[in-house]
Structure 1
Amino acid sequence: MKLTIARLGHLGDGIAEGPEGPVYVPGMLPGEEIEGDLSGGTLLAPKIVTPSPDRIKAPCAHAKSCGGCLMQHARDGFVADWKLGIVRGALAGQGLEAALRPIVTSPPRSRRRATLAARRTKGGALIGFHARGSNLIIPVPQCQLLHPDLMAALPALEALVVAGGSRTAELDLSVTRTLAGPDVVVTGGKPLDAELRLALARIAEARGLSRLTWGDEVVALRAAPMQRFGKALVAPPPGAFLQATAEGEAALLAAVQEAIGRATRITDLFAGAGTFALPLSEQADIHAVEGDAAMMAALDKGWRQVGGLHRVTCETRDLFRRPLEPDEFKGVEAVVIDPPRAGAEAQTATLARSAVPVIAMVSCNPVTFARDAAVLVAAGYRLDWVQVVDQFRWSAHVELAARFCR
């Protein structure tokens, strides 16, 4: 059967209209004519009859087998327009419109954090990303997504898997680039005993890991795993959130700084370890609020070790269960809010009742962003602009920053 791809879904699948409803075909682009055997809503062994002019040769040798990237078969301009369309569609679903600025896309080989799958083998270790929709691990020695420093850490990760992995269970290796070397968190490994602790510590020292966490225990700390936020150096706790690329973080920070203007008293909600709070403390007093006490402690320590910054106060608080109330924003000139994918429904509701003149909202989920934006707009805020940032290159993920004002 021949079908024509009509559009892309939010996960990057091509969607064609079949005789009994939508047919989802991974790896296809709008306008492409394809053929294959139709089975329900799936086209088996699809072949491209007429390719799209937006189709290109994937830059990575692993693109066909690895599930780490979804959109390497499309030119950058097409992917940018597609992601802008996702944001525009999410806003339209809430009856909103906004000026969407040109997308900022992180370059290849810029991802500074990733979680790899691993398994011990008879001859060593298998490390990589899962194939799409499968538990099969695909090695990625020529990965075009990860920063070269993460690629250079692969031999160290292999040594860890050989020392503490098994052939029957899969490990997750979360690795983050830091100023002092890779920061690694391993889950799914063998239980720790004295012999394994010593072996892992030796690997961390010999391979230049800054910190190694095995399950919930830090087993080696060769050097503090520092990140730079503005003038401050911060050592986030193991597994703490960090923007995926330095370029993406810089784009989001620039948008936030533009949004808040010359505000001198700022509240930073879901502040993490200080991604926005610490650079903004160069111009303003900051009250940083975050539910994770360890991240708040790291932010506070980073601020105290730098001279010349404005005052930063830290509050550990679950903003989902106990959002800041309107009276707690008295005198605040701007709010920065960067919630997780679930958005900030409760906190947005109290912000909408406040007198805060400017809100800079950062989001990694256009759908929950649009939901929360609609609450603010209904309460009298104006959505001035949206800056879309693509730091998860070749994926379906979209991030953004936006400015609201009374």
Structure 2
Amino acid sequence: MKKHILVSGAGIAGLTAANFLAEQGHKITLIDRSSSFSKAGFLISLKSFGVKIMSDLGLTQNLLAASLPSETVHFIQTNEKIIQSIDYDKMHENIERSVLISRGGLHHVLYEAIKNEINILFDTTISQLEEKPEMTKVTLSNGNILDADLVIISEGLRSSTRERYFTNYQLEDFNTLYVGGRLKQNHEKKVGVFKVYIDVNKMLSIYPIASDEIAIQCYIRSFEDVSTLKNNASSILKNAFDDYNPEVKQLLDNLLDEGLFFMDKMGMVNAPNLINGRLVLLGDAGYCPTALSGMGASLSIYGAKALTHFIAKYPENILTACDRYNRLMQPIIEKFQTNAKNNAASFLPKSEADLEKFVSGFRAADDTAIQQIMTEPIVLTKDQENFILS
């Protein structure tokens, strides 16, 4: 029996779920608070099982067409000395090669594949939910009322619907400011060869992604509240890297003056239960692992595939499907949130002593050790890949 499923939040998780559910023949209503979608956005790296699931959707060619070049990453100190260099092809010899893409680019690939198959409502949010015995009555912000067999909440880290209808979760402050941006600027840097500066309480990444465009990302440890950080983003960014070389400082000045950038304070969602009746949390709304996990997009895509897998497996009992999804996801969420905390400790060292320890250990690592460090934390077990509960 086909269901009417409402997906609130048309980001990567919501769009992936909509693609799989439409394939199964369900009636999908997808809503988003945005007035339209854009291909712009900061960079993400789609890795491991995330790449494989895009292949399951038949979107590999579209994904690669929208991807950006990535050849080598140099981890360096502020004095420009190289700590370690990693070749992307070599690093991914035993797993799917990661795909560097803008968040908007990945979003566009998923949206184009589904936009003519489902009902999409922009400028629309959930105003009220009322649980009935066999369905959920949903009142939308545009005044429309619909009955849904399932409501998928994929509204992102600061989901308002999760805040209203879920009580068993915590939004954990990761005490890290994230800034991601893109700058149109001619340069002589080699496209696809990246620099990542490792420093005490901060990390700066510079990505030449075209001959006339550079992407920049940075993490700065901070204990200020979100509003304070957003109100002072420019000065915080400048001050954090004020002692860097003139070229880096000029690049950051140009980003602030002429580029497009996004900033937010990172957080994790700790939700021991992703379901509440016929409501289910998906993606960052349910288990944001922060950008420092390196797997936020892949985990959103995996969660969407897992949820829709169980909906297909239990077509007559959507509550059972959601329960299986929740049980499968919990240990996986713990794994990647732990990875994020470990990465924060390594790549955002808290002291000069911690920095020196990281630099000496990372510099001494051979190719085998590097591959293990970079790839082992991002893979799943065979059972998890096949959505088998232990």
Higher normalized contact order (CA 8 Å, seq sep 6+, divided by chain length): 2
TM-score of Structure 1 vs Structure 2, range by shorter chain: under 0.3
Radius of gyration: which is bigger?
Answer: 1
